[in-house]
């Protein structure tokens, strides 16, 4: 294992842990809105005050001009950071102002808290969709390879058809068959299903090729000669041979799906308003006014890029020679 | 040769027609299957007016009948009328598809112009600071999807005023065509750049890989061993060899480009097919949804066909009848 790959995998594990432990890491409830702090800028921790060094603290913010949304740091008060306190990793005591490490959005909600909880929705949906896609793809690919003949032809022609479709338009068309307004859970299930339906053909093609090549190898023949049934050979001998390919595909699918979730939520067909998915959060940033006033609303964009980059590092570094397989991963 | 090529074109054309038809039908079916219809957007209407509206739009008939009517019209290239815009779907889609095609074509040209030289540079198996920088940039851009490049460029544009923000307006009548062209060029800059950055990086990667593989081939090694300068070996032999793999993935790139352009269109308010389709879906404008889906499928079919022809032209060993 080389260094880049280790870094990529480490980052992915870190993001996964953040998603799982989100409520323990973030200071506020992601839905909690501080009405007096719309578009509050990020508040960085300080260690130096006028009277010398202190443990990390933040200065409270005060809204100076509500119309222009101008804020000022109140340098007279220090709000010390409290570690592992009141059920979260780090927070400040309720004092003159809340603490927004990454700023707040239009409704005065903490961007950091929303970002961390958004990781749950975005990464959760993408991971589930990737797993579903791999399962469907592996089942269809293996089925086609084992059944051969007409079933094989039919399945692979279907795969060819689905592969050339413009992905995002298919996802949109499938999404359009569902009611526009759904609850978060319904959206999550619908998205996983839709993405799984669109993504399987590449996996199926690869698995079919590998399974049918491996089936003609001596070890498979030996198993057959020893009286093993077709399904046993498939399960014990042939499918394990696809492991490398399936893992590589997982790395291709995950970033694609993170982005698909973001795009769908961004255009308003994904997670509904209060849910802090990364795409839904980006929607808040997608106006010139918001971008100029509150560029920190782009935080989810960096989360998405970091995720994609981590996956790239984890999968592409060791396989530069065979990079040809990874090229569907960009931008859906 | 001529005949096999003709057969290849014909077969592809038939496949494209089938694809477009299947996609449009499926989209129509799906859009129809969704609860609610176009008339439902107005809640306060009294039931009688609502029923009249539904009757006017033909929404009160059973779906099989609606579909049959739609099919009959499609044969004559009449894709029905949009409920919302009250205009023929074909005209609407053609307008917007032209904008999407413009955006995609400019982006692809930019990506190719940047990606191929960069790939030739990094694939030449030399070291140095420049190559390291190009590689790092490409790795970064490859990880930034078009949705995000367009948001970031929007931020840059808002801060600096370098590019106009917002889509292309219909030109005033009487503007000279040079002005129209200049205006289009200014407006396409931001979305095209947003789309071109990740794809340029992708092309750089593929070109680099292909050139490295070409340089490892015996003929290149033999040429280098005879003392022919590396630059000349690349320019004369290896580059040509590396074209094949690059063009082979172009069809995939074009498909991805098309999907990517969707996000860019939404963010940069570019009046393209993506925006049209989203609005149609939200408004339950079923025929328009089907029309957009058909246009998307047609795009992909044409792009894949062009990429395959280019591939065959670059590599004469390829049988054009291969698929």
Co-location of A48 and A157 in the same domain: no
pLDDT number for residue B156? 85
pLDDT number for residue A318? 46
Decide: pTM greater than 0.90.
no
Co-location of A324 and A204 in the same domain: yes
Q: Which residue of A has its CA nearest to B293?
A: A169
Co-location of A69 and A175 in the same domain: no
Q: What is the tens place of the pLDDT at every residue in A6-40?
A: 888 899 999 999 888 888 888 888 888 888 888 88
Contacts of B211 (CB under 8 A, 6+ apart): B119, B120, B123, B124, B234, B238, B239, B242
Residue with tokens 């960085």: A44
Asked, for residue A125, whether it belongs to a domain, the answer is: yes
Please identify among residues 18-57 of chain A the ones whose CB lies closer than 8 Å to any CB of chain B: none
Q: In chain A, what residues touch B292 (CB-CB under 8 Å)? A: 169
Asked, for residue A29, whether it belongs to a domain, the answer is: no
CB contact under 8 A, B23 and A165: yes
Q: In chain A, what residues touch B256 (CB-CB under 8 Å)? A: 167, 328, 330-332
pLDDT number for residue A327? 37
Co-location of A66 and A205 in the same domain: no
pLDDT number for residue A179? 76
Co-location of A278 and A177 in the same domain: yes
Paired residues of A62 in beta bridges: A72
Co-location of A185 and A142 in the same domain: yes
CA A209 to chain centre: 29
Torsion of CA A92, A98, A99, A103, to 10 degrees: 170
Q: What is the tens place of the pLDDT at every residue in A146-196?
A: 888 888 888 888 887 777 776 777 777 777 777 777 788 888 898 899 899
Co-location of A194 and A214 in the same domain: yes
Q: Chains A and B: how many Cβ contacts under 8 Å?
A: 150
Co-location of A139 and A47 in the same domain: no
Co-location of A150 and A205 in the same domain: yes
- Total domains present in chain A: 2
CA B4 → CA A116, B8, B18, B46, B305, distances in Å?
58, 6, 21, 63, 15
Q: What is the tens place of the pLDDT at every residue in B196-239?
A: 999 999 999 889 988 988 888 888 889 889 988 888 888 888 88
Mean pLDDT calculated for residue range A52-80: 81
Please identify among residues 16-35 of chain B the ones whose CB lies closer than 8 Å to any CB of chain A: 19, 22-23, 26-27, 30-31, 33-35
Paired residues of A61 in beta bridges: A73
Using CA atoms, how far apart are residues B223 and A207, in angstroms rounded to an integer? Answer: 40
Say if residue A237's pLDDT is above 80. yes
Q: In chain A, what residues touch B165 (CB-CB under 8 Å)? A: 288
Q: What is the tens place of the pLDDT at every residue in A265-285?
A: 888 888 877 788 898 888 888
Pick from B195, B199, B236, B193: which is nearest to B119 by CA?
A: B199
Domain span at residue A59 reads 43-99
Structure tokens at A161: 């058809």
The verdict on B119 touching A (C-beta cutoff 8 Å) is no
Pick from B300, B256, B270, B273: which is nearest to B145 by CA?
A: B256
pLDDT number for residue B168? 62
Co-location of A88 and A192 in the same domain: no
Co-location of A78 and A121 in the same domain: no
Using CA atoms, how far apart are residues A178 and A124, in angstroms rounded to an integer? Answer: 21
Where is the domain boundary, A31, A66, A99?
A: A99
* β pairing state of A52-58 and A46-49: antiparallel
The 3-state secondary structure of B287-312 reads HHHHHHHHHHHHHHHHHHHHHHHHHH
ipTM of the complex model: 0.79
CATH of the domain at A322: 1.10.3720.10
Q: What angle do CA B41, B43, B46 make, to 5 degrees?
A: 120
Asked, for residue A311, whether it belongs to a domain, the answer is: yes
Residue with tokens 């006028």: A50
- Between A161 and A199, the more confident residue is A199
Q: In chain B, what residues touch A262 (CB-CB under 8 Å)? A: 147
pLDDT number for residue B110? 94
CB contact under 8 A, A308 and B144: yes
Residue with tokens 């130096």: A48
Asked, for residue A179, whether it belongs to a domain, the answer is: yes
Q: What angle do CA B195, A132, A328 make, to 5 degrees?
A: 25
Co-location of A148 and A258 in the same domain: yes
pLDDT number for residue A204? 92
Where is the domain boundary, A57, A75, A99?
A: A99
Say if residue B282's pLDDT is above 70. yes
Q: Phi and psi of A89, rounded to 5°? A: -60, -50
Q: What is the mean pLDDT of chain A?
A: 83
């Amino acid at each position: 294992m080389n260094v880049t790959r280790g870094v990529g995998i480490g980052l992915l594990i870190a993001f996964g842990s953040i998603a799982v432990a989100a409520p323990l890491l973030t200071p506020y409830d992601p839905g909690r809105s501080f009405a007096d702090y719309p578009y509050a800028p990020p508040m960085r921790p300080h260690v130096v005050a006028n009277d010398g060094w202190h443990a990390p603290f933040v200065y409270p913010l005060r809204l100076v001009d509500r119309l222009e949304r101008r804020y000022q740091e109140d340098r007279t008060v220090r709000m010390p950071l409290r570690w592992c306190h009141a059920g979260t990793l780090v927070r400040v005591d309720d004092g003159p102002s809340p603490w927004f490490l990454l700023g707040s959005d239009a409704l005065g909600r903490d961007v950091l808290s929303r970002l961390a909880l958004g990781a749950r929705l975005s990464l959760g949906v993408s991971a589930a969709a990737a797993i579903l896609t791999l399962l469907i793809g592996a089942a269809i690919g293996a089925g086609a390879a084992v059944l051969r003949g007409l079933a094989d032809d039919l399945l692979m022609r279907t795969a060819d058809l689905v592969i050339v479709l413009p992905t995002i338009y298919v996802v949109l068309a499938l999404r359009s068959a569902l009611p526009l307004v759904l609850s978060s859970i319904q959206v999550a299930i619908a998205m996983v299903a839709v993405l799984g339906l669109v993504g399987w053909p590449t996996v199926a093609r690869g698995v079919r090729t590998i399974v049918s090549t491996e089936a003609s190898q001596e070890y498979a023949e030996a198993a057959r000669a020893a009286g093993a049934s077709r399904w046993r050979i498939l399960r014990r001998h042939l499918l394990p041979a696809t492991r490398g390919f399936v893992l590589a595909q997982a790395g291709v699918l995950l970033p694609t799906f993170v982005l698909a979730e973001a795009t769908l939520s961004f255009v308003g067909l994904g997670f509904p308003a209060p849910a802090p998915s990364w795409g839904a959060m980006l929607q808040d940033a997608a106006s010139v006014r918001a971008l100029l006033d509150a560029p920190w609303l782009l935080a989810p964009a960096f989360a998405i890029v970091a995720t994609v980059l981590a996956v790239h590092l984890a999968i592409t570094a060791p396989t530069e020679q065979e990079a040809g397989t990874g090229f569907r991963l960009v931008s859906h | 040769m001529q005949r096999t090529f003709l057969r290849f074109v014909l077969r592809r054309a038939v496949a494209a027609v089938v694809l477009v038809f299947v996609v449009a039908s499926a989209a129509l079916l799906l859009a129809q299957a969704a609860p609610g219809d176009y008339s439902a957007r107005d809640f306060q209407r009294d039931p009688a007016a609502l029923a009249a509206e539904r009757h006017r739009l033909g929404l009160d008939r059973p779906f099989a009948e609606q579909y049959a009517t739609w099919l009959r019209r499609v044969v004559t290239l009449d894709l029905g009328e949009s409920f919302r815009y009250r205009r023929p779907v074909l005209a609407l889609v053609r307008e917007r598809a032209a904008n999407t095609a413009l955006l995609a074509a400019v982006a692809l040209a930019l990506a190719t112009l940047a990606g191929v030289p960069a790939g030739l540079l990094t694939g030449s198996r030399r070291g140095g600071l420049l190559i390291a920088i190009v590689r790092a940039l490409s790795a970064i851009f490859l990880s930034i999807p078009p949705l995000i490049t367009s948001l970031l460029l929007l931020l840059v544009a808002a801060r600096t005023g370098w590019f106009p923000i917002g889509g292309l307006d219909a030109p005033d009548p009487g503007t000279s065509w040079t002005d129209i062209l200049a205006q289009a060029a200014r407006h396409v800059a931001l979305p095209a750049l947003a789309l071109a950055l990740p794809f340029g990086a992708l092309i750089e990667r593929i070109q680099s890989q292909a050139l490295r593989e070409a340089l490892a081939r015996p003929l290149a090694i033999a040429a280098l061993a005879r003392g022919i300068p590396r630059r000349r070996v690349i320019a004369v032999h290896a580059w040509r060899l590396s074209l094949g793999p690059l063009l082979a993935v172009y069809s995939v790139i074009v498909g991805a480009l098309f999907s990517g352009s969707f996000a860019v269109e939404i963010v940069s308010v570019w009046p393209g097919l993506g925006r049209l389709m989203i609005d149609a879906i939200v408004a339950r404008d079923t025929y328009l949804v089907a029309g957009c889906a058909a246009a998307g499928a047609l795009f992909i079919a044409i792009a894949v066909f062009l990429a395959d022809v280019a591939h065959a032209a670059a590599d004469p060993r390829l049988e054009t009848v291969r698929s």
